[in-house]
Amino acid sequence: MRIIITGSPGTGKTIIAEKLSKQLGIPLIDIKKVVNKRKLAGKRHEVDLKRLASALSFLKSKKDFVAEGHLACEVRLPADFVFVLRTNPKTLKKRLAKRRYAKRKLEENLMAEMLDYCTQRSEKTYRKKPLELDTSGLTVAACVSKIIKAIKQKKKRLDSVDYSGELRAYLRPGR
């Protein structure tokens, strides 16, 4: 089974993917580690997506894996299931602030979450609607359980996530 887990930074991708791969007994592919190992990021942290796709081409011959990373929505990988993890922007802001994200980077990631960036990119990249999972207020175990249940039931939809209301509040003058 080939499972893709993507989403904005801070949505829980790494820890959820680790637990999922362990529970299913299949290898975990950490896309960020591939980027770092192959030195695919430039000085401003931008990643050459063509080189990344090439570095991940070995996945075509793999039948079972969990591939995790926010760039998984940008590069088409072999996939049976594509999950986009989502988090309420207020919760996400706290998580990213704990990581000491610079203000601009924090705001860019919040905006990406409110605009459904990873969901829209995944849909375009994989040519099918990804399964969104709202991780807000859920434990890692609960998230993993929901993913496994969705896989077993071959669900076409999980959570319906829309943070456009948060976007309106975010853009309001004098926020």
28: three-class secondary structure by DSSP: strand
Residue-number span of the structural domain to which 76 is assigned: 2-171
Tally of domains within the chain: 1
Residue 121 is part of a domain; what is its CATH number?
A: 3.40.50.300
pLDDT of residue 45: 75
Of the chain, the percentage scoring pLDDT greater than 90 comes to 87
Q: List all residues 6 or more positions away from 143 whose beta carbon is below 8 Å from its beta carbon.
A: 12, 16, 85, 133, 135
Going by pLDDT thresholds of 50, 70 and 90, the confidence category of residue 168 is confident
Sheet hosting strand 28-30, strand order edge to edge: 28-30, 65-68, 2-7, 81-86, 131-134
pLDDT in tens, 107-145: 999 999 999 999 999 999 999 999 999 999 999 999 999
Query: What pTM does this model have?
Result: 0.93
Residue 64 in tokens: 């079972």
For residues 30-54, give the mean pLDDT. 91
